[in-house]
Amino acid sequence: MALIDIKLYSEALGMQTEVYVVIPQKSTQGEIGITNNVGDTKYKCLYLLHGLSDDHSIWLRRTSVERYASDYGICVVMPCGHKSFYTDMKYGNKYYTYIAKELPCIIQELFKVSNRQEDNFIAGLSMGGYGALKIALKERGKFCAAAGLSSVADIRRKDFEKVQIPIWGENREIPAEDDLFSLVEQCNEYYDKPRLFMAIGTEDFMYQDNVRLKEKIKSLDYDYTYYEAPGTHCWEFWDEYIQYVLEWMFKL
């Protein structure tokens, strides 16, 4: 695998930003302890989103996601969404437009990755779990599967009220298109809606919200997978479960 640190200009953001990409490298002869699973076709691609307190570097710093990805021969794209909840902010930048619409086009321009829905995936943790599920549901025909680990399932939680004022305004008037409970219902009729994966620790402070969202999805016509296990809102849980996410996504 190659690790590429990209500095690029985003028209949606109107500024330079940074993205980490890990992508298969065909020639790895002599590299110790690494398996090489590289094909000749365009790569499948996973967009991997960070949580509220972190940035694009955090998945590489806290997990072995590069090593896990090498087993599947996939490209992993890790953008920076700052504290945007992956939304076009009222008092800030258009992070939804950047990550959901602009960035995939840039990645497909720069790298040998597929643009087919069946080859594109998105996942994240906490705020990034919310973002991954939201983007996959809203961007019809773009992502075939989405995974949220310890997701902010209920965006109306008061815990995040101050952080969300720049996003939705002082009254936090959150539209239905930014609410996961509304989105899963709106998208239920689509024939090409994504497969969904959720995982949450039973001691996580957002456990009950995730259970409610799971029950909502269960009542609808989705291909979904749900895990819960002892655990808190922590990297030990996410490092373990990102491996289950990759297996679920790429070992069908």
pLDDT tens readout for residues 213-245: 999 999 999 999 999 999 999 999 999 999 999
Pairing of strands 15-23, 75-79: antiparallel
| pLDDT of res. 27 | 75
pLDDT per residue as tens digits for the range 153-201: 999 998 898 999 999 999 889 999 999 999 999 999 999 999 999 999 9
Mean pLDDT of 66-84: 96
Q: Are 83 and 163 in contact (CB under 8 A)?
A: yes
Question: Which residue in the block uniquely carries the two structure tokens 């990409």?
Answer: 21
Q: Is the pLDDT of residue 28 over 90?
A: no
Q: Find the domain containing 145 and state its range.
A: 2-26+35-250
Residue pair 49/122 in contact (Cβ under 8 Å)? The answer is yes
CATH number at residue 222: 3.40.50.1820
pTM: 0.96
The DSSP annotation for 106-132 comes to: HHHHHSSB--SGGGEEEEEETHHHHHH
Q: How many domains does the chain have?
A: 1
